[in-house]
Amino acid sequence: MLACRSATEKTRGGAGGAASRSRRPSPRQWRPTPFHGSSPGVRMPALHDLPTPSLVLDRPRLQRNIDRMADRCAELGIWLRPHLKTPKSIDVARLLMARQARGITVSTLAEAEYFARHGLHDQFYAVPLAADKIGRIAALVRGGTTVLCVAHDADAVPAYAARAAAEGIVLPLVIDVDVDHHRSGIAAGDPAFPAMARAINAAPSLALRGIMVYAGASYDAPDTDAIAALAERIRAGGVAARDLLHREGLPCDMVSYGSSPGTFFARSLDGLSESRAGVYPFQDLFQAGLGACAVDDIALSVLTQVTGRQPALNRFFVDAGGLALSKDRSTAGHAFDAGYGLVCDEDGIPIGDLIVSAASQEIGTVTSRQGATLDMAAFPPGRRLRILPNHSCFTAAAYERYNVVDGGHEVTAVWDRVNGW
Amino acid sequence: MLACRSATEKTRGGAGGAASRSRRPSPRQWRPTPFHGSSPGVRMPALHDLPTPSLVLDRPRLQRNIDRMADRCAELGIWLRPHLKTPKSIDVARLLMARQARGITVSTLAEAEYFARHGLHDQFYAVPLAADKIGRIAALVRGGTTVLCVAHDADAVPAYAARAAAEGIVLPLVIDVDVDHHRSGIAAGDPAFPAMARAINAAPSLALRGIMVYAGASYDAPDTDAIAALAERIRAGGVAARDLLHREGLPCDMVSYGSSPGTFFARSLDGLSESRAGVYPFQDLFQAGLGACAVDDIALSVLTQVTGRQPALNRFFVDAGGLALSKDRSTAGHAFDAGYGLVCDEDGIPIGDLIVSAASQEIGTVTSRQGATLDMAAFPPGRRLRILPNHSCFTAAAYERYNVVDGGHEVTAVWDRVNGW
């Protein structure tokens, strides 16, 4: 079974031991933005009033997760540039910025435009750039937003330079450096790496800002020691790539590092400038399986209800299927395979070992992992349940908004999301 | 490799042999609706102008798929009530209605409301009903829409009756009958089945209309003979359940049958009244793996572009990741496991055995299934590609609209979709 911590434990130190504040970055780029909650006088619904399926966000858990990562980055002495690909919400972003995050990371231009409209102007668009997206980026730049972009392939640089010049902007770029072969990026040992850096530096319409690395292979790591070892390998790879650029006389002010577990479990991130951890505000069952959080840290859930039972088959059905939960099966390789999600009561407390073991488009099938006999009388049609997701980023993407609860059943705020591209 | 048919073959008969029109249902409930294409005089973009990722729908393939199923249902002598959970688009619905479809099937109330606004008033909401959704259904009923609903659990019936009575409507219900243990439904042999039917029939605010069955286990069938055998089992189960109700003196005018492959490969659907097949207008790699279509029947694709290459690792990257393609892995158990999608050129023709073998949120990794050495010069950054999806219903759900092409590169229409609940 996955770890649960006591519901009364509201705070904790970072994974690295006693917190030291001595290396905490100064909050010189911290831009506080006002918080908008629900309007006074408007009666907000409770969970039993919401249509199902709906997305529920537990604010105390969210805040605890945000605090934990902020403390951890302070311990490590690096800035935090949270990746908003998970929440895609200005209200969550405001909570993040209030804990000294420095700028934001985005995964789509829809996010970039949305957050710029809401006043967040220090952005890192952290996927390899397609040159024909520079027009939209230039519009943001002209509106006063900095959008750091990513170069991975040397053959794309001439098109970047030409499009940026045509738009009349200077486009800041970091180079995607691949250390663990998990995803995109160029190997620092590839002669094309310094050549690309020189080409970017030489182009009047481009500005070389640094590099990014990503501890993506942490998602395949067998335990937290392995994640820590990988984090060190990624850190060293990033520092070596930076040093190579410096030896070439090239600028490298930014060494961006990614992944939430890779930040929690790193023993040191010396030499890196910032973490763009993303999933940690919400957490999910996959992160719990990695040991990066406990099940009762998971702030996101899908509200659903029982629609029917099959006593002879020892299972029942809910109105949250593959669209409401996502088809992500990332816990499939874990000791605790949660199917399509872990079934909780309306308070968000897991019910035995019930999981959504099958999901068609709009119907989820609930069973006991161990085949325990279910008390069908406890699950009458209409009973409301909450499902914890395998992968928050994908589950949240099916919804337009979050229904925020403060640990109880009342919806105290409704926060929007930006989807699409 | 999956089957491809010649690009010049535009029509074909049903899977059951030469078409016989003698048993074709009369189109007495066929409601033609006007077709709205693009406005004359407005320059529409071409595929190379669209932002990536975007959803592309090939109209000739769509029409061919629609014709094939309409012909097949005519051969089988059953009505077609297409399940619009896949397209969720009034424009696709209009093409379906033009081929003598009788009413529509929907999976969410958002679909029901959208299609009612667009004039489709004969609806089957084919998932087990939650009683607290009856308020929205009543609003549709008062607007002149018939919304057939589904009962699965006898304990839900009193709440259905009370809510329908409170709304002042008579709610038509079919009972979800489980034959293959694939999903929801009550076994016809369960004494609760006729008891539930009697309870529905006795409630003044409810009207018993019949039953539904679903050949869901066809998705696990090893070959088309097995699908045909399962279809016969489901058909016989549906007929037996209907006969049981008739012996009890209860009404059962409707025996609805589901699944596209279960309709294509059924040897007979005698005794059933209609098929609510859904995925067939678009098809997908999962259906191709089942033998229910060829790869070049797949009408839906995701337009993407190359963002970078890793020659040493024999792979490249595109800007369509897990959100753009969905995390559905339904081809994982097939002889042709397509990863997260099959990679095609801008014309929609597969390129060797290239697949999206890994998908993070916004980045897809393209590799050869057999490890063939890729000619990296053929995939420069910015090259546009189209990805065929594993499961159309899930891939389409990430998008607000379809970019329609007529087999070429020009977008000839833009059709909207309704998402959410």
| DSSP at A285 | H
Reduced to 3 states, what is the DSSP secondary structure of residue B118?
Answer: coil
Task: State the pLDDT at residue A101.
Answer: 74
- Domain that includes residue A356, residue range: 299-388
**Pair B234, B108 in one domain:** yes
**Do B106 and B214 fall into the same domain?**
yes
Q: Give the tens place of pLDDT for each residue, A358-415.
A: 999 999 999 999 999 999 999 999 999 999 999 999 999 999 999 999 999 999 999 9
For A384, the closest chain B residue by CA position comes to: B130
For testing contact with chain A, the best of B52, B174, B303, B421 (most A CBs within 10 A) = B421
* Whether residues A216 and A314 fall in one domain: no
Q: Is residue B146 part of a domain?
A: yes
Q: What is the pLDDT of residues B335-364, one digit of tens each?
A: 999 999 999 999 999 999 999 999 999 999
Q: Given this model, what pLDDT does residue A42 score?
A: 63
Query: What is the predicted pLDDT for the residue at A16?
Result: 35
Q: Which pLDDT belongs to residue A4?
A: 53
Q: Across residues B135-164, what is the average pLDDT? A: 98
How many angstroms separate the CA atoms of B113 and B90, rounded? Answer: 12
CATH of the domain at A218: 3.20.20.10
The tokens for B417 are 């979709």
* Short-list B277, B283, B303, CA closest to B295: B283
| Last-in-domain residue among B281, B314, B331 | B281
pLDDT digits (tens, 9 = 90+) for B276-291: 999 999 999 999 999 9
H-only helix segments in A172-320: 192-202, 224-247, 260-264, 285-290
Q: How far is A309 from chain B (nearest CA, A)?
A: 6
CA dihedral in degrees (A226, A229, A231, A232; nearest 10)? 180
Query: Taking CB atoms and an 8 Å limit, are A382 and B319 in contact across chains?
Result: no
Whether residue A310 and residue B185 make contact (CB cut-off 8 A), yes or no, is: yes
8 Å CB contact between B257 and B238: yes
Encoded tokens for A389: 């997701």
- Residue B3, pLDDT score: 60
- Of B222, B250, B281, the domain-final residue: B281
A172: Cβ–Cβ under 8 A, 6 or more apart, which residues? A146, A147, A148, A149, A206, A207, A209
Min Cα–Cα distance to chain A from B318, Å: 9
Q: Do A152 and B176 touch (CB under 8 A)?
A: no
- Nearest CB among B85, B153, B187 relative to A309 is that of B153
Q: How confident is the model at residue A218 (pLDDT cuts 50, 70, 90)?
A: confident
* CA B222/CA B307 separation, integer angstroms: 38
Instruction: Check residues B4 and B407 and name the one with the higher pLDDT.
Output: B407
Last residue of a domain, one of B255, B281, B307: B281
Is B125 among the domain residues? yes
Q: Tell me if residue A208 falls in helix, strand or coil.
A: strand
Q: Are residues A365 and A270 both part of a single domain?
A: no
Chain A contact set for B131 (CB, 8 A)? 381-382
Asked whether the beta carbons of residue A176 and residue B308 sit closer than 8 angstroms, the reply is yes
Least confident segment among B39-43, B117-121, B202-206 = B39-43
Chain B environment of A124 (Cβ under 8 Å) = none
> In this structure, is residue A77 part of a structural domain?
yes
pLDDT at residue B24, as a whole number? 37
Residue A242 · residue A211 · CB < 8 Å: yes
The closest alpha carbon to B48, from B417, B358, B382, belongs to: B382
Nearest to A130 among B52, B360, B398 (CB): B52
**Tens of pLDDT along B37-88?**
445 556 789 999 999 999 999 999 999 999 999 999 999 999 999 999 999 9
**Residue B285 near residue B331 (C-beta atoms within 8 A):** yes
Interface test with A, best of B310, B316, B379 (most A CBs within 10 A): B310
Same structural domain, B209 and B347:
no
Instruction: Tell whether B184 is covered by a domain.
Output: yes
Predicted complex ipTM? 0.91
Of the candidates B307, B357, B323, the one whose C-alpha atom is nearest the C-alpha of residue A176 is B307
Domain assignment present for A29: no
Q: Would the CB atoms of A307 and B128 count as touching at under 8 Å?
A: yes
Q: Are B215 and B257 in contact (CB under 8 A)?
A: yes
Please tell me the distance from the alpha carbon of residue A31 to that of residue B243, in angstroms, as a whole number: 71
More confident residue, A118 or B13: A118
Same domain, B321 and B235: no
| A vs B: CB pairs below 8 A | 170
Pairing of strands B384-388, B401-405: unpaired
Q: Domain check: are B248 and B371 in the same one?
A: no
* Predicted confidence (pLDDT) at residue A295 exceeds the cutoff of 60: yes
Confidence of residue A199 (pLDDT cuts 50, 70, 90): very high
> CA–CA separation, B5 vs B413, rounded Å?
26
Same domain, A272 and A191: yes
With respect to residue A393, please indicate whether it lies within any of the assigned structural domains.
no
The predicted structure's pLDDT at residue B41: 59
Residue A78 contacts residue A269 (beta carbons within 8 Å): yes
Q: Which residues of A touch B365 (CB under 8 A)?
A: 183-184
A396 falls within a domain: no
Average pLDDT over residues A326-346: 95
Contact B85 A132 (CB under 8 A): no
* Alpha helices (H) in A218-359, listed in sequence order: 224-247, 260-264, 285-290, 322-325
> What is the distance of C-alpha B421 from the center of its chain?
17
Interface contact B52-A181, CB threshold 8 A: no
pLDDT value at position A151?
98
Looking at the fold, whether B250 and B309 belong to one and the same domain comes out as: no
Are both A168 and A96 inside the same structural domain?
yes
Q: Which residues of A touch B183 (CB under 8 A)?
A: 317, 358, 360, 363, 365
pLDDT computed for residue B4 by the predictor: 53
The total of structural domains in chain B comes to 2
d(CA B72, CA B25): 12
Measured between beta carbons, the chain B residues lying within 8 angstroms of A309 are: 153, 155
Within this chain, do residues A120 and A197 fall inside the same structural domain, yes or no?
yes
- Residue B95 domain-assigned (yes or no): yes
The domain that holds A370 is classified in CATH as 2.40.37.20
- Alpha-carbon distance of B87 to A45, in angstroms, equals 32
pLDDT digits (tens, 9 = 90+) for A142-187: 999 999 999 999 999 999 999 999 999 999 999 999 999 999 999 9
Binary contact (A128, B313; C-beta < 8 A): no
CB nearest A130 (choices: B127, B319, B360): B319
CB < 8 Å to B380, chain A: 155
| Dist CA B141 CA B122 (whole Å) | 10
* Minimum distance, in Å, between the CA of residue A18 and any CA atom of chain B: 34
Nearest chain B CA: its distance from A365 CA (Å): 7
Q: What is the mean pLDDT of chain B?
A: 91
Torsion of CA A14, A19, A25, A27, to 10 degrees: 80
Same domain, B263 and B304: no
Cβ neighbourhood burial of B39 (10 Å; 0-12, 13-18, 19+): exposed
